[in-house]
Structure 1
Amino acid sequence: MSSHAQTRYALRPGVTCLTIPGGAVLLNPPHNEKLTGLAPAQIQALKTLNRGPSTLSEMTGGTESAEVATLLDRLAAGGWLTRTIRDGDRDLYTVRPFATPPAVPAGSASTAVLSKFTVIHRDSEGLVLEHPTSWCDLRIHDPRLLALAAGSTPSELGLSEEISAQLAADLHRGGFTADLATEDHTFTTRSWTPSDLWFHRRSTLGPRVLTWDHFGPTKWAKDAFPPPPARKPAYSSEPLALPTPDLETLRIADPSLTAVLEDRRSTRAFDEANPITLAQLAELLYRTARTRSVETTPDGDELPSRPYPSGGSVHELELYPVVRHVAGMAPGMYHYDSFDHALRPVAPADSPAVQRLLKTTSATLAEAAEPQVVLLMGARAGRVMWSYEGVPYANILKHVGVLMQTLYLAATAMGLGAVAQGFSDTAAFTAATGVDELEECNVGSMIIGTPAR
């Protein structure tokens, strides 16, 4: 418990306290704790907390009470209380737990610096410090504390040494600070980047997320925004109709699934003298990414069906073939209209953005060659974000993975070469397509062509 006299305590959000004769029950599903043998002053303190945030003095009527201080220590150790540190009548910061605090970490709070994983951002309540592996958030009410955390001295900011020491202790206790010698020279912490660890912990169930209230397919936007349509607005260019393969014949003539799985390889060298043809590209797109049907729910949400799976059947991914050398079609960037099985020109081959999209693939290919065709994957993120909380971007990347494997297997069955890329030029994609990156962003890339003999 803080030693600062002006500390204000409150039950953490979501906690319900039921007082009973001689005790109380703390509820925060799925956790609960029964308190027994409480003194009258302790029960009165709990009743005061039930009414709202209170200082120790307000809970005890201005009298000294070791019993109430002991109770507050116990509640804080169990993660049931938020603590707001104040300077007079001014709130400085609040420690808000969402899990049970662990043991006090090793090391000195006075010599630690902010961990590379600590993130400062703004949400609907204001500024907050978060750490992916912490048990609490630290909410900043006084912006001077940001300067203090960054290295300014308390005297420079008009803060007391006591407040500075309290902040250092709370940052250390919450895991927001670290010993540089350990964090920068230990493989497990050096290997993780802040964005990767943040993304991992924020998109999975764990101490921060224990219920489905704001996680998963909540359809949070249902009453506020219309669902984004399943079909992307068509580019105004004249579509190039594509031939349709005979699936019944392919069911018989295709190699077996086992053969395709065992024969699949990443191809990094292609046959320039015998490029992929328009008919082959059309067959690959039809077999892997066409829209087979669309179901409209009573709420008006459109759920397409395609050959690969998609969480919630939202199918937010769009394919953009960037063509350099395909027999039977002009070079350039196209959008695959999966509803009409057609290609619509998006950008000419000589545009700077298309040239960048082609050149950045050279690192993937043997001898820095340029690809015959690159299939760029765009994600209309709103299709997923309208329904999901916490996990939409993680789901998008999973969808990229299953589409990549679908393309790999179909290409192998057709005798084509394919290789997935671990990167692509998102800025060039945005420039070429002319779309707002927050509405549709580049999330994947695969190179397709005739494999070299």
Structure 2
Amino acid sequence: MTMIASTGSEFFASSDPYLGVGLAPHVRAVTFDDTSGRMVLKTAFGDEPTLYDHATGWSDPRFVDLVSAWVGNHGVVVTTLCEQVGEICPELKAEEVRQKADQLLHELAKVQALQWWYCPDKSADVPLCHIESGSRLYYTPLVIGAVPDGAEISRFAFVQRENGKTVLENCEIGVRLVLGPDGGGLLPYIFDGPHHGSDRNPSDEEKLVYPGFWHFLWRFGFLQSRSLDSFERQSWEFHERLFHARSRSFLGQRTIGATYQFKDKVPSPPAIKAPMSADKIALPRPDDYSSDAVPGHQSLYEVMDARKSIREPGARPLTLDGLGGFLWRTVATRKHIKGVELQDLLERPVPAGGAIHEIEIYLVINRCDGLKPGIYHYQGVEHALYALPAREQVRKAILGVACNATGLGSKLPDSLIVMASRMPRLGWKYQNLCYRLSLLNAGVMMEAFYLVATEMGLSPCATGSGDSALFALATGLGVEHETAIGEFILNGPPIKKSYH
């Protein structure tokens, strides 16, 4: 980047002449509070008539008119901004003008009032795209380095349609590039251009198509340089980084949490599912069978210390009594709570976010005294199993996946517990963290499985992966309604009753 230290505007004459700045649409007016000595933004969201005051860290009242002029339009190019700052502060030298402009924009960014935009045609009414910040921590300085050789679009970048707009995002950073109505040509330039995936920057001929746009992408974090990549960054897969970014609270990011976004649109999905078949098998409860099946009296510490994964099934199979006692102690519904919250809730021995208990339990049985091989849905409120009409090859395939995940080879486990999430139950209340919350709930459930199985003298083992498509084949349920998110092997007593 070439800089000429004579006037404020010349700092950008050779590098970013198409870079503009403005205010986010929710800023409706700009004032100055004499009491606090700070510039104040009047903001409103959507069609709300109420205006909210957001004080900035800017204390120079001379700049109120400058920023006010951006309300309701796209703002100004950065070169013009620097010229205006120089006129307001004639005592400043060129470098000081740039620093003053930088400070002003940084203060606006801290309250998420700043938008950047790109427009190569000075006569155009609408920029080709603009940048929305999703974090009060994000800011890009006015002067940054040149794009490194070999830069290419980040592997964490992706495109989606959102509210009728095309959006380019990078889950590493807290900004989004939103295409304007005339910005459709930018996507082919980014993803299909000759420079994509190469070891060079766009040629001079390529730059003429959208001058300065490659540098615009670099400025806002949408490019990566393989020569500067780190092992730590490479260890993150795209889907893992995106999931992490979307399901964690980040300053000012998307709405997250208990918003009840569907409260006035659709009824909450019922807490208790209707029976999935007419073939019901009642399960014994702990007080229904002999004391031989009742667990011992180890302390919690002793059970936790003894807990370990035992993959191989033992000589004796799982029994219906043991299975019934296990399910009763871990996931049986103790209470169906109605009319207290906006949606029906459940009480189980294990906790769950919001007491919603969206996880349904399925049993894939291979060997269990008192129960035929098959696939069953567990109805916790009845403490009963309902047999599903699943094909035999599907049942064996599900067990086979569990064998591969745990290194058992062809030796099938006695049973596999499949935890399936009814995501709409969570999505009715929570926003942008449902999948994460369901995984947390499944993890809590797995630990309960481990501890109860250990105390009962059974053989537990969580699996690291499973096949949701096979679950869909077995149940006939679409992924949007209910999907498998975790699996857990439960065998009868271990071959050798030793946990050391």
In 2, the alpha carbon distance for the partners of 1:384 and 1:30 equals: 34
Where does residue 91 of structure 1 map in the other structure?
A: 127
Where does residue 114 of structure 1 map in the other structure?
A: 153
Which amino acid is 2:166 matched to? L
TM-score, normalising length: structure 2: 0.79
Report Cα offsets for 1:389-410 as digits up to 9, x if no partner. Answer: 1211110000000000001111
Report Cα offsets for 1:389-448 as digits up to 9, x if no partner. Answer: 121111000000000000111101110000001100110001101001111010000001
Where does residue 229 of structure 1 map in the other structure?
A: 270
Which amino acid is 2:116 matched to? R
Asked if structure 2 preserves the Cα contact closer than 8 Å seen for 1:347 and 1:354, the reply is no
In 2, the alpha carbon distance for the partners of 1:106 and 1:254 equals: 67
Asked if structure 2 preserves the Cα contact closer than 8 Å seen for 1:316 and 1:383, the reply is yes
Single out whichever of 216-225 and 300-309 deviates more from structure 2.
216-225
SS at match of 2:57: strand
Where does residue 40 of structure 2 map in the other structure?
A: 25
Per-residue deviation, 1:225 = 1.8
SS at match of 1:319: strand
Where does residue 200 of structure 1 map in the other structure?
A: 244
Where does residue 173 of structure 2 map in the other structure?
A: 134
Where does residue 22 of structure 2 map in the other structure?
A: 10
In 1, the alpha carbon distance for the partners of 2:163 and 2:346 equals: 34
Per-residue deviation, 1:275 = 0.4
Which residues of 2 match residues 61-210 of structure 1 at below 5 A? 66-67=86-87, 73-78=102-107, 79=109, 80-86=113-119, 87=121, 88-98=124-134, 99=136, 100-102=138-140, 108=147, 111-141=150-180, 142-152=183-193, 161=207, 164-183=210-229, 186-209=230-253
In 2, the alpha carbon distance for the partners of 1:208 and 1:151 equals: 33
Structure 1 runs not aligned, ≥5 long = none
Which amino acid is 2:431 matched to? E
SS at match of 1:95: strand
Per-residue deviation, 1:16 = 6.4
Asked if structure 2 preserves the Cα contact closer than 8 Å seen for 1:27 and 1:33, the reply is no
Which amino acid is 1:44 matched to? D
Where does residue 434 of structure 1 map in the other structure?
A: 476
Q: Quick one: percent identity of the two aligned structures?
A: 27
SS at match of 1:307: coil
Asked if structure 2 preserves the Cα contact closer than 8 Å seen for 1:19 and 1:46, the reply is no
Which of 374, 381, 399 is the equivalent residue of 1:358? 399
Where does residue 43 of structure 1 map in the other structure?
A: 64
Report Cα offsets for 1:238-268 as digits up to 9, x if no partner. Answer: 2111111129989994322111111111001
Per-residue deviation, 1:105 = 7.0
SS at match of 2:193: coil
In 2, the alpha carbon distance for the partners of 1:418 and 1:65 equals: 69
In 2, the alpha carbon distance for the partners of 1:151 and 1:322 equals: 47
SS at match of 1:356: helix
Asked if structure 2 preserves the Cα contact closer than 8 Å seen for 1:135 and 1:207, the reply is no
Distance of aligned partners of 1:303 and 1:134 in 2 relative to their CA distance in 1, 3 Å threshold: same
In 2, the alpha carbon distance for the partners of 1:323 and 1:237 equals: 18
Per-residue deviation, 1:170 = 2.0
Q: Within the alignment, does 1:256 sit opposite 2:302 as a pair?
A: no
Where does residue 279 of structure 1 map in the other structure?
A: 321
Per-residue deviation, 1:151 = 4.2
In 2, the alpha carbon distance for the partners of 1:16 and 1:417 equals: 64
In 1, the alpha carbon distance for the partners of 2:224 and 2:19 equals: 25
Where does residue 394 of structure 1 map in the other structure?
A: 436
Which amino acid is 1:282 matched to? G
Which amino acid is 1:12 matched to? A
Distance of aligned partners of 1:47 and 1:176 in 2 relative to their CA distance in 1, 3 Å threshold: same
Per-residue deviation, 1:297 = 2.9
Report Cα offsets for 1:57-89 as digits up to 9, x if no partner. Answer: 9x99xx977447967654444424213323323
In 1, the alpha carbon distance for the partners of 2:382 and 2:336 equals: 13
Asked if structure 1 preserves the Cα contact closer than 8 Å seen for 2:30 and 2:64, the reply is no
Asked if structure 2 preserves the Cα contact closer than 8 Å seen for 1:83 and 1:96, the reply is yes
Per-residue deviation, 1:10 = 3.0
Per-residue deviation, 1:310 = 0.3
Q: CA RMSD in A?
A: 3.3
In 2, the alpha carbon distance for the partners of 1:252 and 1:235 equals: 31
Which amino acid is 2:375 matched to? M
In 2, the alpha carbon distance for the partners of 1:440 and 1:384 equals: 11
Asked if structure 1 preserves the Cα contact closer than 8 Å seen for 2:150 and 2:226, the reply is no
Distance of aligned partners of 1:368 and 1:102 in 2 relative to their CA distance in 1, 3 Å threshold: farther
In 2, the alpha carbon distance for the partners of 1:30 and 1:289 equals: 49
Report Cα offsets for 1:345-374 as digits up to 9, x if no partner. Answer: 1134x5332221011111214454211100
Asked if structure 2 preserves the Cα contact closer than 8 Å seen for 1:324 and 1:331, the reply is yes
Asked if structure 1 preserves the Cα contact closer than 8 Å seen for 2:306 and 2:454, the reply is yes
Q: Within the alignment, does 1:297 sit opposite 2:297 as a pair?
A: no
Which amino acid is 2:189 matched to? L
In 1, the alpha carbon distance for the partners of 2:342 and 2:316 equals: 47
Report Cα offsets for 1:250-295 as digits up to 9, x if no partner. Answer: 9994322111111111001212x41011111111111111110011
Asked if structure 1 preserves the Cα contact closer than 8 Å seen for 2:146 and 2:215, the reply is no
